[in-house]
């Protein structure tokens, strides 16, 4: 039985990376405990304010954000922290060598109905040790990530993590309060018959994405010649976890619903860390055409379209978009 501490001692590239991941996952234990208490801990319902994204915050959104921010600010290896919930990054320790970005509670609309939610995190190198970190320090492409992962708070609490060329999973043992290794080399099948998409936005999608979903719905009677199933958790962390466990496709494509938003998902807090996990598990991750991990960010809250999962489906969607552009 391998614990997270043992795994990090063997595989983390530096003691600093080991320590920062431990800080994030320790806070995850606290969030997991709060979620188990639910209404008994007075964590359900609205917080009464909005985040920088203009979204109504849940009570646990705010609490999870504060727990992570406070813990990382006290970690000597952490130079700065950026949260999906806050306008600007928060400087931490000027001698730190790492930057941490996180979505404290992905899928928070699921909290009140007792469905899956999670914490997503990304760790980047800090290049200006000895100086106070700024928003611009976080503007690094996803291919620069030193580690990425998520904590899924479901029927059990599961950690998916990548710090080397592969993806591993741990489950939080409620008896010992340790994360225990359950998968040492997660792999995604290249083919799949499952997909996840918010179909209510169909009328706002570009033509190639509409064509793709039309083909899947047509199933064995259409050009694909086989049936597909839809699965939708309404929390990216839940949909990505399913893909890592049994394959599939997840997409929140470009749409025209809101003119000022290129996509719904945030590049730095959601798309980049999830794309690193998916790629290292042999899947693919694009904005429908371009590799997500190669996108050069312009803003810490930048949004992007996302298509990720089983590689053959990701490539098929890319081909549809490229062919449409040639017409």
Mark whether 108 and 239 lie in a shared domain.
no
225 plus 104 within the same structural domain: no
Q: How far apart (Å, rounded) are the C-alpha atoms in residues 103 and 281?
A: 21
Considering the domain architecture, whether residues 130 and 278 belong to the same structural domain is answered as no
279 with 316, same domain: the answer is yes
Q: What is the pLDDT of residue 113?
A: 78
Among the three residues 135, 153, 183, which one is the final residue of a domain in this structure?
A: 183
Percent of the chain at pLDDT > 70 equals: 93
pLDDT, greater one: 49 or 234: 234
pLDDT over 80 (residue 111): no
Domain edge (last residue) among 159, 183, 207: 183
- Give the whole-angstrom CA distance, residue 191 versus residue 247: 8
Residue 40 has pLDDT above 70, yes or no: no
156-210 pLDDT, tens digit each:
999 999 999 999 999 999 999 999 999 999 999 999 999 999 999 999 999 999 9
Pair 159, 199 in one domain: no
| Residue 188: inside a domain | no
Per DSSP, the three-state class of 273 is: helix
Q: Which domain holds residue 122?
A: 4-183
Task: Count up the domains in the chain and report the number.
Answer: 2
End-of-domain residue from the set 160, 183, 206 = 183
CA distances from 143 to 73, 124, 221, 290 (A): 25, 10, 40, 13
Q: What value does the mean pLDDT of the chain take? A: 93
Gap between the Cα atoms of 171 and 8, Å rounded: 15
Find the DSSP H helices in the chain: 4-11, 15-37, 59-73, 207-218, 236-246, 272-280, 311-326
Query: Strand locations in the chain, DSSP E?
Result: 46-50, 56-58, 78-83, 90-91, 98-106, 117-125, 147-153, 157-162, 168-172, 179-183, 194-196, 229-230, 249-252, 265-266, 284-286, 303-304, 306-309
**Together in a domain, 165 and 200:** no
Say yes or no: 130 and 32 in one domain. yes
Claim to verify: residue 220 and residue 162 sit in the same structural domain: no
């Amino acid at each position: 039985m391998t614990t997270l501490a043992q795994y990090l001692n063997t595989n983390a590239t530096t003691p600093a990376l080991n320590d920062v991941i431990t800080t994030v996952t320790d806070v995850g234990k606290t969030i997991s405990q709060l979620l188990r208490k639910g209404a008994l801990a007075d964590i359900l319902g609205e917080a009464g304010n909005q985040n920088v994204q203009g979204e109504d915050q849940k009570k646990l959104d705010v609490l999870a954000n504060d727990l992570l921010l406070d813990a990382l600010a006290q970690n000597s290896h952490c130079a700065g922290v950026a949260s999906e919930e806050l306008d600007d990054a928060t400087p931490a320790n000027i001698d730190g060598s790492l930057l941490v970005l996180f979505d404290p509670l992905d899928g928070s609309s699921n909290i009140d109905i007792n469905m899956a939610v999670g914490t997503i995190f990304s760790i980047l190198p800090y290049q200006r040790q000895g100086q106070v970190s700024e928003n611009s320090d976080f503007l690094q492409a996803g291919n620069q990530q030193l580690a990425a992962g998520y904590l899924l708070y479901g029927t059990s609490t599961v950690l998916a993590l990548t710090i080397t060329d592969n993806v591993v999973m741990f489950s939080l043992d409620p008896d010992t309060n340790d994360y225990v290794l359950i998968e040492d080399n997660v792999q995604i099948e290249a083919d799949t018959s499952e997909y996840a998409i918010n179909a209510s936005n169909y009328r706002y999608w570009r033509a190639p994405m509409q064509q793709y979903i039309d083909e899947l719905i047509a199933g064995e009677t259409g050009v694909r010649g086989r049936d597909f199933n839809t699965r939708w958790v309404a929390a990216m962390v839940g949909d990505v976890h399913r893909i890592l466990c049994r394959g599939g496709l997840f997409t929140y494509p470009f749409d025209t619903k809101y003119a000022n938003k290129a996509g719904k998902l945030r590049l730095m807090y959601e798309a980049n860390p999830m794309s690193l996990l998916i790629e290292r598990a042999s899947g693919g991750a694009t904005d429908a055409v371009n590799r997500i991990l190669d996108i050069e960010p312009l803003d810490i809250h930048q949004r992007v379209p996302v298509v990720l999962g089983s590689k053959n489906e990701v490539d098929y969607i890319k081909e549809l978009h490229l062919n449409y552009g040639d017409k």
